[in-house]
Amino acid sequence: MATLLRLSSICRTSTGFAKKSLLMRPAVCWAQNHHMLQIAQIHTSPNQHAASKTASTHWTSERILSATLLGLLPAAYMYPGAVMDYSLAAALTLHGHWGLGQVVTDYVHGDTKTKMANASLYALSAVTFAGLCYFNYHDVGICKAVAMLWSL
């Protein structure tokens, strides 16, 4: 059994010639295909795309931090100081954390191993940041230390 169906119920975004001539003519389709055409009109909700948006935002944040580091390193050489030392400590720690996090995601498999690796990564990042802050507070700081290494 055939069903008459307007093509405009399938194609909503046509303009010009197709809108005037083609969409006004009925199309013939079989009854078993009519169900498929109705399913094709169902739209997914935005909640199903939330994970990809989060990943996109994370990827963008990583790129912004990397670009910021490109400007922060020469600025640290030209204007050394406490603000620059702590900014470098935070940026380098976050950059390393995100980079090693991708290594854990790509190469560590298994539920328990992944949880252990992520816990170790957070501990390593916390110790790294604390160590850099300790070095900045009790010693010469990151900027002066690098300048001293270059003067050797």
pLDDT tens over the chain, length 152 residues: 455 545 555 555 545 555 555 555 555 555 555 555 555 566 555 555 555 677 788 889 999 999 999 999 899 989 999 999 999 999 999 999 999 999 999 999 999 999 999 999 999 999 999 999 999 999 999 999 998 998 88
Q: How far apart, in whole angstroms, are the C-alpha atoms of residue 152 and residue 146?
A: 10
Give the position of tokens 């795309």.
49
- Residue 97 annotated as binding? no
**Full set of structural domains in the chain with CATH:** 2-39 (no CATH), 61-150 (1.20.1300.10)
CA-to-CA distance for 5 and 13, rounded, in angstroms? Answer: 17
Report residue 36: phi and psi, to 5°.
Answer: -65, -40
DSSP state of 7: G
Dist CA 42 CA 124 (whole Å)? 47
d(CA 136, CA 144): 10
SS3 27: strand
In sequence order, the β-bridge partners of residue 29 are 3
Is 95 annotated as belonging to a binding site?
A: yes
Model confidence pTM above 0.95: no
Torsion angle, alpha carbons of 116, 118, 119, 121, to 10: 120
CA distance 46 to 54: 13
Report the C-alpha gap between 125 and 68 in whole angstroms.
19
